[in-house]
Every structure is written in C-alpha cells, then in structure tokens.
C-alpha cells in the first residue's frame, strides 16, 4: 500500500470508535499541552530576565569591593572595601576603552516633600551614570559636571518616588528634604521597572556624588564603581583594563590578590539565564511524564485493536498481504493517533498559556522550535508505543487468525 492509502485506512480504523480514540489520545493531548505551558513559562522567564538585564545599562561593567580573609578564612564577597572616589576618577582619566565611569555612593533615609514622606535610597553618581545605565529623563534634565563640581543640592527622582510624593503633578522645580538637607528636583527619571532580583529600580533618588558624599554619606569608601565599555566587543578588554588600573590605584604588588571584583553584564546575565534554563528543563521533564502515560494508553488500545481485528488480519494475509504490510498499517494508525493528539495538545497548550499569562501577568513565550519538537515527540511516542502491538499483529499465523472468533 502507498502512504496515502495507509493513512486513509488508518484514519477509517481510528474513526470507527470515536470515543475510545478520543480517550486514547487524551494522554497525548494533556502531555503535549502541559509541555507547551511549562516551556512557555520557562522561556517567558528567560525573556523577562534578558530584558531586565538589558535594562541595567549599556555594556556595563561593575566594580565592587573584594573579600577579606581572617585566619585564612574568607569572610565573603564585598567584606573588604577599599573603593574610593579617587579610583573612579583614575579610571575615568586612564581608561582608553571606557565611554563613561561613575562612582556610586548609597545612603538611605527619610524623604520629606510634596504630599508626605517616603523612605528610599539616594544614590550619589556622576553625570556619566545616565549613559552607563541608559536611563532617560521623563521631564526636566540630568545634572551636569558643573552641578557636580559645585556640589549643588539638586536631584532626580524615580517614577515610584514621584508618584508617592507628587501624585498627579510635575515635581520638577519643587523641593524635597533628604535627611533634613533640602534638594531641588531638576528631573524625573523614565520608568525602568524591576530588576531580575525583584527590586524596584524606580524607587530611587539620584544626586551628584560630590553632594551626597559631603552632605549625606560622609564616608570615605564607596559602594561600587560603574563603567561602560565603548563597544560591546570591547567589554572583556575593558574589564581587564579596569583591573590593571585598579591594582595600580591600590598599589597592589604582583603577588597580591585583587582587593576588588570586576564583573560585566554578560556574566550577570549568564548566571540568571542558567538558573531559568534549568527550571525550564525541569518543568518540561515533569510535563513529559504525561506523554509517557499517554503512550502507554495508545499501546494498550492498539493491543485491544489487534485482538478485535485478528480475523481481519487473517483475511488480509490470506489474500496476499505480508507481515510487513500489517506491521506498517498498525504502526501508521498509532502514529496518526499520536500526531492528531499532539496537534490538539499544542492548541490546548497555547490557549492554556494565554489564559495563565492573562490571569497571572507572567510573560509567556513559545518558540517555533518547541512546537516542532512537540509534534516530533508525539510521532516518536506513536512509533515507540505502537511498535509492539504492530509487531504482534504482523506475527499472527494466518490460519489461526482466520479461525479466531
């Protein structure tokens, strides 16, 4: 028989008992649908994390304090802080692969102004911070180097702070007090959203680092230094350049370890992505169990079908059909049943993912490759679990099959 005839005969046999066929395919439908939903959740999470990492800034490199050792035991990352504003200034002067450098001084406190008060973090940064973080201004302007050198008490507030203190109005030109120090609002930052860790980037205030250091923080050491490479391809070289300049700035001998840590945005992204990839694979593996259960259901029904059609098989063999013809016929029936179930399962999975995304607000994504793999896996289940019943049918003795009642 040719392929078209085999598919037609298989479809006719499948449709003889519609309810049994539907119940047989139910396992495949649920399995494929579950895989689609689980993969959609995982890929959506990966996409969301990629967007959040990109939201951090352009070609960003982060310098943080290093680890200290007490009695040969490490006290953990950022436990030994020797970062200073002078380090950032030296990086800015000597860095040939850096487009912008900014120290970051962090201090918390109560903010009073507008229609109430709000507790948030104030970040002392340089004008280069805007380029590094690729953070545009919704209204007003970003402070410049004149503001920084003059230690002016000017600030930009995030969208969350603006909504909390100045709901429904433009806060530019108004004053707030940060720990009793008056600051003029010169701009409102564009909305950034949450980080991969879930913190609100818009719940922040930016001010010149010179002002924050002298008026608010009063500390010699700073939290971190941010830098931006000129080009994406320059990030590894820029990272090494920063390391060498920092070692020189800290007068570290050749034998001494770095007392700081330099990381780039790619490393941060890869760490987050690896976690979500493992989660996606785990979810898909759990959902695949339903496909195995569905395959077992197909095998059971095909075995029943072989028993019911034993006399039919005997007649086919008596008029010249070979065992291989019978095997292919039953195998095609199993594959057709699996593929139909897979297609219905894909539709069910897409619909379920859309409903789940709408109800929870989660990001859902399904790549075309996932759909192809789902169809291929459905066909593979049909071949794997349909082979034994098909082989059993092909191995029947024609004379005994004809005598079967």
Residue 40 pLDDT > 70, yes or no?
yes
Mean per-residue pLDDT for 193-205?
Answer: 78
- What's the number of CA atoms in the CB half-sphere (13 Å) around residue 281? 6
Token duo for residue 392:
């059993």
Secondary structure (3-state) at 137 = strand
Q: How many H helices and E strands in the chain?
A: 13, 12
Residue 210 pLDDT > 60, yes or no?
yes
The fraction of the chain above a pLDDT of 70, given in percent, is 77
Beta bridge partners of 382: none
Mean per-residue pLDDT for 270-293?
Answer: 68
pTM: predicted TM-score of the whole model, two decimal places: 0.60
In the chain, domain spans: 3-52+271-403, 81-258
Token duo for residue 232:
């994406």
Nearest to 289 by CA among 25, 27, 37: 27
Q: What are phi and psi of 73, to 5 degrees?
A: -110, 125
**pLDDT value, residue 388:** 72
Mean per-residue pLDDT for 65-69?
Answer: 64
Beta bridge partners of 61: 227, 264
Out of 111-125, 184-198, 243-257, pick the least confident: 184-198
Mean per-residue pLDDT for 52-74?
Answer: 65
Residue 194 pLDDT > 80, yes or no?
no
Show the CA angle centred on residue 350, arms to residues 349 and 355, nearest 5°: 95
Helix/strand/coil (H, E, C) string of 179-198? CCEEEEEEEEECCCCECCCC
Show the CA angle centred on residue 295, arms to residues 28 and 17, nearest 5°: 70
| Interval 394-403: pLDDT, tens | 776 666 655 5
Looking at every residue in the chain, the average pLDDT score rounds to 79
- Residue, of 160 and 269, whose pLDDT is higher: 160
**pLDDT value, residue 273:** 61
Instruction: Tell me the C-alpha to C-alpha distance, in Å, between residue 278 and each of 46, 197, 272, 374.
Output: 11, 17, 10, 19
Under DSSP, the state recorded for 254 is T
């Amino acid at each position: 028989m040719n392929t078209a005839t085999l598919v037609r005969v298989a479809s006719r046999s499948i449709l003889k008992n519609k309810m049994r066929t539907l119940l047989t395919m139910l396992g495949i439908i649920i399995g494929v649908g579950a895989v689609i939903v689980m993969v959609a959740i995982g890929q959506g999470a990966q996409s969301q994390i990629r967007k959040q990492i990109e939201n951090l800034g352009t070609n960003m490199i982060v310098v943080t304090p290093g680890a200290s050792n007490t009695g040969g035991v490490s006290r953990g990352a950022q436990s030994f802080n020797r970062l200073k504003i002078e380090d950032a200034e030296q990086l800015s002067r000597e860095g040939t692969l850096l487009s912008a450098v900014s120290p970051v001084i962090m201090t918390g406190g109560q903010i009073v102004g507008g229609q109430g008060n709000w507790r948030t973090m104030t970040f002392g940064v340089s004008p280069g911070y805007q380029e590094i973080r690729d953070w545009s201004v919704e209204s007003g302007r970003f402070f410049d180097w004149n503001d920084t050198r003059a230690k002016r008490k000017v600030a930009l507030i995030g969208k969350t702070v603006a909504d909390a203190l100045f709901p429904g109005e433009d806060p530019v030109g108004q004053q707030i007090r940060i720990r009793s120090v008056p600051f003029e609002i010169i701009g409102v930052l564009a909305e950034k959203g949450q980080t991969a860790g879930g913190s609100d980037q818009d719940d922040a205030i930016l001010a010149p680092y010179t002002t924050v250091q002298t008026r608010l923080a009063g500390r010699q050491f700073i939290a971190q230094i941010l830098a931006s490479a000129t080009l994406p391809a320059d990030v590894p070289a820029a990272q090494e350049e920063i390391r060498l300049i920092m070692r020189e700035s800290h007068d570290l001998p050749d034998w001494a370890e770095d007392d700081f840590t330099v990381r780039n945005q790619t490393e941060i992204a890869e760490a987050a992505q690896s976690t979500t990839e493992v989660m996606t694979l785990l979810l898909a593996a759990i959902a695949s169990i339903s496909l195995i259960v569905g395959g077992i259901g197909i095998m059971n029904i095909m075995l029943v079908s072989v028993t019911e059609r034993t006399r039919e098989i005997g007649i086919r063999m008596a008029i010249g059909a070979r065992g291989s013809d019978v095997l292919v016929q039953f195998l095609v029936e199993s594959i057709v049943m699996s593929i139909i179930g897979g297609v219905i399962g894909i539709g069910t999975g897409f619909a379920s993912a859309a409903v789940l995304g709408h109800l929870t607000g989660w990001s859902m994504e399904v790549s075309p490759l996932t759909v192809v793999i789902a169809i291929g896996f459905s066909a593979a289940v049909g071949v794997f679990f349909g082979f034994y019943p098909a082989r059993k049918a092909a191995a029947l003795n024609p004379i005994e099959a004809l005598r079967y009642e």
